[in-house]
Amino acid sequence: MSTREKPDDSQNCDEGGVLRRDFILDGVKVTLSFLALEALGSPLCARSVWSSGGNSRSLNPIDLNSPPANLDDSLDVIAAYLVQYAPPTGTFPANGAWKATYDVIEWMGSPSGEGAKFSRRNRSAGRMVVTRRPASRGAGVAYNLDHAIAINGFESTLRSTMNCSVGPLPGLIDWKTDYEMHSLRKSRPPMKLGEKGWHRDGELGIAGVAGTRKIRTDRPVVPQWAVLDALRGTRADPAEAGAELEFDLLHNLTSYRPRQVLKPCGLLEIALDGRAQELHGFVQTGPGTQPTHYWIDSLGRPLLVTGGLLSSALVSVTEI
pLDDT of residue 60: 60
- Looking at residue 15, the DSSP 8-state letter turns out to be T
Residue 57: what pLDDT? 53
- How far apart CA 53 and CA 126 sit, in angstroms, is 12
Residues of the chain with pLDDT under 50: 1-56, 236-239
Give 42: exposed, middle or buried? Use CB within 10 Å, 0-12, 13-18, 19+: middle
Q: What are phi and psi of 44, to 5 degrees?
A: -80, 65
**pTM, entire model:** 0.79
* Confidence at residue 302, expressed as pLDDT on a 0 to 100 scale: 94
CA distance 236 to 222: 21
- For residues 99-119, one letter each, b for 16 or more C-beta atoms within 10 angstroms of the residue's C-beta and e for the rest, the string is bbbbbbbbbbbbeeeeeeeeb
- Which amino acid does the sequence have at 89? T
**Strand 2-4 relative to strand 154-164, pairing:** unpaired
**CA-to-CA separations, 216 to 7, 60, 213, 311, in angstroms, rounded:** 17, 49, 10, 31
Q: How far is CA 233 from CA 226, 238, 240, 301, in A?
A: 14, 13, 10, 7
Mind listing the pLDDT tens digit for each residue in 242-272?
Answer: 568 899 998 766 689 999 999 999 999 999 9
Query: Would you state the pLDDT for residue 47?
Result: 35
